[in-house]
């Protein structure tokens, strides 16, 4: 069965789980009516299903390649990209001032989910442009906006993010790239950057690199870093691609997955660049871009999980292996253990999708209302959505392979590709360890206020659900109580103890949010109760062990000598 975009699920979550109606009710997003949302998601789903999904295998089997220093895309990617660009999907959340549609992130995230489920390797290309558009909207001068934003928004040009260097990964502050002022307001940017997604492309007429580099008077560490726009072709007076800039693709990485997405080593050799934002304030500008990119990566995890689930579901409905409890010649979906796996997968996808969309609603509400509470909610949920959504992407794809049995290990079926593709998502845009540290440190710098407010909400919703679903509501209420205690315990810990328990704490937090989302779904639509029961009764109890691990702190880990790690 080919991929079918989950329009129905996304709409249901928006309407009944994450409160998208609040977004439509704001003046800022008044145009995003339920009808508009339906039209947008249906059309994006049509492109994902009909145009992008058929490219997914080709991208894997015929990776992007480097020819004479230029990237040649996988077969069919040009048509796929054109459908995305001409449909206006790159600029759907971008400001209408420069050609965007100004739609809520909640809808854009649903589109990310569907397009990444259809073809992750290609979806990465517009994703990077969207991040760049956002960074420029917030930090670029009016001239730069006028020059770049319309072309990025239309998809005629595309954008990249250049952060990582061989010695500077999670520790961005260790970067060595330099920018020398040329005296005319421009800069000569020099350095090597790695892991540059879609660092070159034959699908657009210009590739715009946002590059982190240090000015001569920049301090060491992250405080001395500035952000530069360094286009592949320097725009001429008419704003068209002109002279070739001094930058090149050195090589492409040979990767486990997303073969259709060229991952470039970039060399900048005195390339002409323009400062974006204030000198030495590059990290702040980059963070604007990264925060929403992190949420988009959550949608990638969910999207690939959805695709892997659909693939496994089709196989399990077709494959017959002996009598099942339901019939003498039924399909393997009716064997208890296969059902268990599929039920876990569906419950996980629904939960992770709900968490990501609730983060998107918080962003939209913060944008629309300026409310600090919504801002804090969005900030709190971003690392949870990213880390949990991408972990689930890997886990669901893993189960998808397992359901295929031997066929899952054979590349021809495509089950393994989802597993390989998903594997990057817990790593890029800040590893999931970094996300968890962000959660327990920066996002708890408010004394846990945003977290406790969310826990209050979960418990209020559980109270409200109690008459209809007493046992499930009771379980969610109790789990929220455990989350409250775990959060209080965390706040009492020194920072490195928090870090030692950050990953299990984050996952436990996500377990309760998943139970909460399923409970709301079952209240809104009683036919969803069986799935909610799978989440709340079979998956959510995991929080007990996770919070136990979280409580352990760091001392036990540092009691191990380096020798203790060796066999």
Closest CA to 3 of 348, 414, 393: 414
Among 37, 500, 513, 521, binds a second copy (CB under 8 A): 500
Of 14 and 500, nearer to a second copy (C-beta) is 500
Q: Applying CB under 8 A, what is the total number of residues that bind a second copy? A: 101
Mark the segment that binds a second copy (CB under 8 A) among 26-34, 160-168, 280-288, 484-492: 160-168
Rounded Cα distance, 281 and 519, in Å: 43
The CA angle 25-27-29, to the nearest 5 degrees, is 75
Task: Give min distance, CB of 91 to a second copy, in A.
Answer: 27
Among 98, 209, 484, 533, binds a second copy (CB under 8 A): 533
What's the per-residue H, E or C state across 28-86?
CCCCCCHHHHHHHHHHHHHHHHHHHHHHHHHHHHCCCEEECCEEECCCCHHHHHHHHHH
Among 269, 411, 488, 525, binds a second copy (CB under 8 A): 411
Of 29 and 421, nearer to a second copy (C-beta) is 421
SS3 161: strand
Closest CA to 63 of 263, 264, 261: 261
Site for a second copy in 346-365 (CB under 8 A): 346, 349-350
Which residue do the tokens 């209408």 mark? 96
Site for a second copy in 198-237 (CB under 8 A): none
Among 145, 339, 453, 466, binds a second copy (CB under 8 A): 339
Please tell me whether residue 340 binds a second copy under the rule CB under 8 A: yes
Site for a second copy in 503-532 (CB under 8 A): 503, 527-528, 530-531
Task: Give min distance, CB of 356 to a second copy, in A.
Answer: 14
Among 69, 216, 412, 492, binds a second copy (CB under 8 A): 412
Task: Give min distance, CB of 195 to a second copy, in A.
Answer: 5
The secondary structure of 266-304 as a DSSP string is: EEEEEEEEEEESSTT-HHHHHHHHHHHHHHHHHHHHHHH
Please tell me whether residue 471 binds a second copy under the rule CB under 8 A: no
Site for a second copy in 431-470 (CB under 8 A): 431-433, 436-437
Which residue do the tokens 């060491």 mark? 220
Q: Are 332 and 316 in contact (CB under 8 A)?
A: yes
- In the numeric block, which tokens belong to residue 76? 């069919």
Mark the segment that binds a second copy (CB under 8 A) among 127-135, 274-282, 288-296, 345-353: 345-353
Please tell me whether residue 544 binds a second copy under the rule CB under 8 A: yes
Distance of CA 539 to the CA centre of its chain: 23
Mark the segment that binds a second copy (CB under 8 A) among 85-93, 278-286, 377-385, 554-562: 554-562
Among 116, 201, 206, 419, binds a second copy (CB under 8 A): 419
CB atoms within 10 A of CB 240: 11
Of 272 and 398, nearer to a second copy (C-beta) is 398
Which residue do the tokens 């796929």 mark? 80
Of 364 and 497, nearer to a second copy (C-beta) is 497
Task: Give min distance, CB of 565 to a second copy, in A.
Answer: 5
Site for a second copy in 235-274 (CB under 8 A): 253-257, 263
Closest CA to 312 of 398, 392, 205: 398
Site for a second copy in 70-129 (CB under 8 A): none
Site for a second copy in 370-409 (CB under 8 A): 394, 398, 401-402, 405-406, 408-409
Rounded Cα distance, 277 and 266, in Å: 23
Task: Give min distance, CB of 315 to a second copy, in A.
Answer: 12
Of 322 and 467, nearer to a second copy (C-beta) is 322
Of 363 and 384, nearer to a second copy (C-beta) is 384
Rounded Cα distance, 335 and 36, in Å: 42
CB atoms within 10 A of CB 168: 18
Q: Are 343 and 399 in contact (CB under 8 A)?
A: no
Please tell me whether residue 37 binds a second copy under the rule CB under 8 A: no
Please tell me whether residue 50 binds a second copy under the rule CB under 8 A: no
Mark the segment that binds a second copy (CB under 8 A) among 70-78, 89-97, 422-430, 460-468: 422-430
In whole angstroms, how far apart are CA 239 and each of 54, 144, 185, 242, 280?
Answer: 35, 11, 18, 8, 27
CB atoms within 10 A of CB 237: 6
Q: Any idea of the CA torsion for 301, 460, 483, 341, to the nearest 10 degrees?
A: -40
Task: Give min distance, CB of 367 to a second copy, in A.
Answer: 28
Site for a second copy in 480-499 (CB under 8 A): 496-497, 499
Of 113 and 364, nearer to a second copy (C-beta) is 113
Site for a second copy in 163-202 (CB under 8 A): 164, 167-171, 173-174, 194-195
The torsion angles phi and psi of 118, rounded to 5 degrees, stand at: -75, -45
Of 6 and 19, nearer to a second copy (C-beta) is 6
Task: Give min distance, CB of 543 to a second copy, in A.
Answer: 8
Residues shown for the chain:
567
Among 274, 428, 505, 509, binds a second copy (CB under 8 A): 428
Site for a second copy in 271-330 (CB under 8 A): 306, 309-310, 313, 317, 320-322, 325-326
The secondary structure of 504-559 as a DSSP string is: HHHHHHHHHHHHHHHHHHHHH-GGGHHHHHIIIIIITTHHHHHHHHHHT-SHHHHT
Catalytic annotation present for 457: no
Among residues 306, 348, 395, 429, the one annotated as catalytic is 429
Q: Which residues pair with 214 in a beta bridge?
A: 178, 225
Among 127, 266, 342, 490, binds a second copy (CB under 8 A): 342
Closest CA to 486 of 463, 466, 460, 512: 512
Indicate which residues carry an active-site annotation: 429
């Amino acid at each position: 069965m080919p991929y079918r975009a989950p329009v129905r699920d996304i709409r249901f979550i928006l309407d009944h789980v994450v409160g998208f109606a609040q977004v439509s009710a704001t003046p800022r997003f008044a145009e995003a009516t339920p009808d508009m949302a339906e039209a947008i998601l249906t059309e994006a789903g049509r492109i994902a299903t009909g145009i992008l999904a058929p490219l997914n295998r080709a991208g894997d089997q015929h990776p992007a390649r480097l020819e004479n220093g230029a990237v040649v895309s996988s077969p069919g990617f040009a048509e796929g990209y054109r459908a995305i660009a001409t449909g206006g999907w790159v600029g759907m959340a971008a400001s209408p001032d420069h050609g965007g549609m100004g739609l809520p992130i909640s809808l854009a995230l649903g589109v990310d989910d569907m397009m990444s489920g259809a073809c992750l390797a290609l979806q990465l290309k517009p994703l990077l442009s969207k991040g760049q558009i956002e960074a420029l909207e917030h930090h670029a001068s009016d001239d730069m906006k006028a020059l770049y934003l319309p072309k990025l928004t239309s998809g005629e040009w595309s954008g990249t993010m250049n952060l990582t260097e061989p010695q500077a990964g999670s520790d961005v502050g260790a970067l060595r790239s330099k920018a020398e002022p040329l005296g005319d307001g421009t800069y000569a940017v020099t350095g090597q950057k790695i892991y540059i997604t879609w660092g070159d492309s034959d699908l657009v007429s210009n590739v715009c690199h946002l590059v982190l580099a240090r000015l001569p008077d920049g301090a060491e560490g992250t405080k001395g870093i500035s952000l530069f726009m360094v286009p592949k072709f320097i725009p001429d007076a008419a704003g068209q691609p002109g002279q070739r800039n001094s930058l090149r693709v050195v090589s492409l990485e040979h990767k486990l997955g997303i073969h259709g997405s060229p991952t470039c080593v970039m060399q900048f050799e005195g390339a002409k660049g323009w400062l974006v934002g204030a000198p030495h304030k590059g990290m702040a500008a980059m963070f604007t871009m990264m925060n929403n990119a992190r949420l988009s990566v959550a949608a990638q995890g969910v999207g690939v999980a959805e695709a892997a689930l659909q693939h496994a579901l089709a196989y399990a409905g077709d494959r017959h292996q002996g009598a099942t409890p339901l019939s003498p010649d039924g399909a393997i979906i009716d064997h208890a253990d296969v059902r268990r796996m599929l039920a876990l997968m569906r419950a996980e996808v629904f939960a992770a999708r709900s968490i990501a969309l609730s983060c998107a609603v918080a962003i939209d509400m913060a944008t629309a209302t300026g409310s600090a509470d919504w801002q804090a909610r969005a900030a709190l949920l971003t690392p949870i959505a990213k880390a949990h959504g991408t972990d689930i992407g890997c886990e669901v794809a893993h189960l998808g392979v397992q359901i295929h049995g031997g066929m899952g290990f054979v590349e021809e079926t495509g089950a393994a590709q989802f597993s390989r593709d998903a594997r990057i998502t817990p790593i890029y845009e800040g590893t999931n360890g970094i996300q968890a540290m962000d959660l327990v440190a920066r996002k708890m710098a408010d004394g846990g206020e945003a977290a406790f407010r969310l826990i209050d909400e979960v418990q209020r919703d559980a109270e409200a659900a109690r008459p209809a679903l007493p046992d499930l509501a009771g379980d969610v209420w109790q789990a929220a109580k455990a989350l409250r205690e775990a959060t209080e315990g965390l706040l009492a810990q020194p920072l490195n103890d928090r870090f030692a328990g950050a990953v299990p704490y984050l996952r436990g937090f996500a377990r309760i949010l998943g139970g909460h989302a399923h409970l709301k779904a079952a209240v809104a639509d009683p036919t969803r109760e069986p799935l909610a029961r799978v989440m709340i009764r079979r998956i959510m109890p995991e929080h007990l062990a996770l919070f136990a691990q979280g409580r352990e702190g760091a001392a036990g880990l540092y009691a191990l000598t380096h020798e203790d790690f060796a066999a």
